[in-house]
Chain A
Amino acid sequence: METRFRRSDLIPNGEDKPMADDISLRPELPVEERRGFLKKLLALLAWIAAYLGPVGAAVRAFFAPARQKGQATGQFTRVAPLDSLPEDGTPKKFPILAQRRDAWTVYPNEPIGQVFLRRLGKEKVVAFQVKCPHMGCAISYVEEKQGDEIVKKFYCPCHKANFDLDGRRTDPVSESPRDMDTLDEVKIEDGFVYVRFKNFRTGTPTKEEEI
Chain B
Amino acid sequence: MGFWQRAADWLEERTGLRTAYYTCSRRAVLGGLCWGNAVRAAILFGLIVQAVTGLVLWMHYSPSAQTAWESVYYIQYELPGGWLLRAIHHYTAQVLVGLLALYVAGMVLLAEYRWPRELVFWTAILLFLCSMALCLTGDLLSWDRNAFSATTVRVRFLTLLPVIGQTLFKVAIGGPGPDLGSLTLTRFFALHVGVLAVVFAVLLWAHLALLRRARIVGNVPPLPAGPYWPAQAVRNAAACLLMMAVVLAFVGRSGVPLGSPADPTNFYDAARPEWSLRGVYGLSEMIPGSGIFGTGLSWKIFPIFIIPGLIVLAFLAMPFIDRWRWGYYANVGILVVIGGGLAVLTLLSYQSDAKDPMYQAAVAEEQQLAHRTVQLAKGLGIPPAGALSLLKNDPKTEGARLFGQHCASCHAHVGGLGKEFRLEKPTAPNLGGFGTPQQVRGWLDPERIQSPEYFGGTAFKNGAMVQTIKELFADLEGDELKEMQEHMDSIALMLAAEANLPHQQAALQQQKDRIEQGRKLFYQNCASCHRFHGKGTPSGPELTGYGSLQWLVEITANPASPKFYGSRNDRMPIFEKELSPQQIELIARFIRAEWYEPPKSE
Contacts and interface: CB of A to CB of B under 8 A. Distances in A.
B167 A2 contact: no
A210 B231 CA distance: 62
A153 interface: no
Contacts of A80: 578
Interface string A17-35: 1011000000000000000
A84 B152 CA distance: 32
B300 interface: yes
Contact of A114 (B16, B167, B265, B284): B265
B227 interface: yes
Interface stretch (B74-82, B286-294, B371-379): B286-294
Interface stretch (A40-48, A135-143, A180-188): A135-143
B26 A12 contact: yes
Given A65-B183, A158-B271, A203-B300, A174 B220 contact: no
Contacts of A2: 220
Size bracket, chain B contacts: 35 or more
B175 interface: yes
Given A62-B171, A175-B288, A210 B177 contact: yes
A50 interface: no
A148 interface: no
Contact of A174 (B166, B227, B289): B289
Nearest to B215: A5
Contact of B269 (A81, A157, A173): A157
A199 B362 CA distance: 25
A169 to B, nearest CB: 8
B334 to A, nearest CB: 27
A23 to B, nearest CB: 15
A81 B577 contact: yes
Contact of B178 (A134, A137, A173, A210): A210
A4 B222 CA distance: 8
Interface in A47-80: 62-63, 65-66, 68-71, 80
Interface residues of A, number: 66
Interface string B190-215: 00000000000000000000000000
Contacts of A205: 290-291, 296-298
A149 interface: no
Interface in A136-172: 136-138, 140, 142, 155, 157-161
A104 B269 contact: no
Interface in B323-372: 358-359, 362
A157 B577 CA distance: 32
Contacts of A137: 149, 152-153, 267, 269, 271
A137 B153 CA distance: 7
Nearest to A205: B291
A83 interface: yes
Interface in B392-411: 405-406, 409
A84 B359 CA distance: 30
Most A C-beta atoms less than 10 A away, residue of B153, B170, B178, B216: B178
A107 to B, nearest CB: 9
B458 interface: no
A189 interface: no
B298 A138 contact: no
B316 interface: no
Interface string B224-238: 010100000000000
Given A138-B267, A177-B300, A201-B166, A9 B225 contact: yes
Given A13-B26, A175-B289, A206-B296, A103 B181 contact: yes
Nearest to B177: A70
B289 A68 contact: no
A136 B156 CA distance: 7
Interface stretch (B103-111, B157-165, B488-496): B157-165
Nearest to A171: B288
A145 B177 CA distance: 37
Contacts of A69: 176
B183 A105 contact: no
A93 interface: yes
B566 interface: no
Contacts of A62: 171
Nearest to A140: B269
A102 B65 CA distance: 9
B19 A17 contact: yes
B23 interface: yes
Contact of B170 (A68, A71, A93, A95): A68
B159 A201 contact: yes
Contacts of A11: 23, 26-28
A72 to B, nearest CB: 10
Given A15-B22, A136-B178, A137-B271, A203 B284 contact: no
A72 B202 CA distance: 44
B65 A136 contact: no
A193 B176 CA distance: 28
Contact of B265 (A5, A9, A104, A111): A111
B28 A202 contact: no
Contacts of A65: 170-171, 173-176, 183
B269 A103 contact: no
Interface in A73-121: 80-81, 83-84, 86, 92-93, 95, 102-105, 111, 113-114
Contact of B221 (A3, A9, A202): A3
A137 B269 CA distance: 8
B66 interface: yes
B483 interface: no
A174 B290 contact: yes
A25 to B, nearest CB: 13
A204 B202 CA distance: 38
B63 to A, nearest CB: 11
A177 B298 contact: yes
Given A70-B176, A210-B177, A202 B159 contact: yes
Nearest to A2: B220
B513 to A, nearest CB: 46
Contact of B16 (A15, A20, A66, A210): A20
Contact of B358 (A9, A104, A105, A157): A157
A83 B572 CA distance: 10
27 contacts: A3-B220, A10-B28, A10-B225, A11-B26, A15-B22, A66-B167, A66-B170, A70-B178, A71-B176, A83-B573, A84-B577, A102-B175, A102-B183, A103-B65, A104-B182, A134-B289, A135-B156, A136-B156, A137-B152, A137-B269, A137-B271, A155-B358, A157-B358, A173-B288, A178-B290, A205-B297, A210-B177
Q: 7 shortest A-B CB distances, which residue pairs?
A: A205-B291, A138-B267, A102-B181, A68-B176, A157-B269, A103-B182, A177-B289
Interface of A: 1-5, 9-13, 15, 17, 19-20, 62-63, 65-66, 68-71, 80-81, 83-84, 86, 92-93, 95, 102-105, 111, 113-114, 131, 133-138, 140, 142, 155, 157-161, 173-178, 199, 201-206, 210
Given A84-B578, A175-B285, 10 more contacts: A10-B30, A17-B19, A66-B171, A70-B176, A84-B406, A103-B183, A137-B152, A157-B362, A175-B300, A177-B289
Interface of B: 16, 19, 22-23, 26-28, 30, 64-66, 149, 152-153, 156-157, 159-160, 165-167, 170-171, 173-179, 181-183, 216-217, 219-222, 225, 227, 264-267, 269-271, 284-291, 296-298, 300, 358-359, 362, 405-406, 409, 573, 577-578
